[in-house]
């Protein structure tokens, strides 16, 4: 946190960050205008650069803030899940992440843009920032803890399958489904409630196929 910015009241910090997130998410690093940011925030450009010194520093601070928000909200929501069945647990995680994504759409858009296309002017700094987050929140141990892969250890897996295989494939597919419906939300193809209903139905169909197979069992 930059000291001058940190001295502002929390609600003022949040307002400036919200405006910056909206602008950077919509226009990217290069095309975002600090004139528009300052006009919307009701401050001068001199004050903005007093807080952050440069557009690069501002962008990095905004990206970090967006990542912090998404991680904080995701961790808090997943901690509330009390399902004792692995598939029910992971379904609730996907739905929780989907709701956070929709409620914090600009933060998600900004972070996804940064990960997919790091701006050349700040590429090295952004890649380091992403790498630091991945070391903390995307390690195999952290993912297993969040998704509670240990719930599979007592499940009646059929011969030839192991926990690692099931965990890897199920989490991959469910995250892909979540991204699919995020794109529908982005395109405003359906209202959020309809998107969530469709996502739930597709998750439950997939889980049913995983649990019970695709072919009819011989009698």
Round to the nearest angstrom and report the end-to-end CA distance of the chain: 66
Q: DSSP labels for 46-73?
A: HHHHHHHSSHHHHHHHHHHHHHHHHHHH
In the chain the domains, ranked by start, together with CATH numbers, are: 3-212 (1.10.357.10)
Q: Which residues contact 136 (CB under 8 A, 6 or more apart)?
A: 142
Residue pLDDT tens, the chain, 219 long: 689 999 999 999 999 999 999 999 999 999 999 999 999 999 999 999 999 999 999 999 999 999 999 989 988 888 889 888 899 998 998 889 888 988 999 999 999 889 888 998 899 999 999 888 887 777 777 777 788 888 888 888 888 888 888 888 888 898 888 888 878 877 776 777 888 888 899 999 999 998 888 887 776
Question: Does this model's pTM top 0.75?
Answer: yes
The answer to whether the CB of 52 falls within 8 A of the CB of 38 is no
How far apart are the C-alpha atoms of 54 and 47, rounded to whole Å? 11
């Amino acid at each position: 946190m930059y000291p001058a910015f940190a001295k502002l009241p929390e609600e003022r910090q949040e307002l400036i960050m919200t405006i910056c997130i909206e602008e950077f998410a919509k226009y990217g690093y290069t095309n975002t205008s600090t004139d528009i940011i300052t006009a919307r925030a009701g401050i001068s450009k001199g004050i903005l650069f007093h807080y952050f010194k440069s557009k690069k520093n501002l962008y990095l601070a905004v990206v970090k803030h967006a990542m912090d928000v998404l991680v904080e909200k995701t961790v808090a929501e997943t901690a509330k899940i009390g399902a004792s069945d692995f598939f029910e647990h992971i379904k609730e995680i996907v739905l929780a992440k989907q709701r956070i994504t929709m409620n914090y759409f600009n933060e998600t858009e900004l972070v996804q843009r940064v990960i997919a296309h790091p701006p050349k002017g700040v590429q090295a700094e952004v890649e380091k920032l992403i790498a630091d987050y991945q070391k903390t929140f995307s390690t195999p141990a952290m993912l297993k803890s969040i998704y509670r892969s240990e719930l599979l250890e007592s499940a009646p897996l059929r011969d030839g399958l192991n926990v690692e295989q099931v965990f890897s494939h199920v989490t991959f597919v469910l995250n892909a489904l979540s991204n699919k419906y995020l794109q529908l939300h982005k395109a405003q193809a359906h209202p959020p409630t309809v998107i969530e209903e469709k996502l739930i139905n597709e998750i439950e169909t997939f889980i049913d196929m995983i649990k019970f197979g695709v072919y009819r069992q011989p009698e």
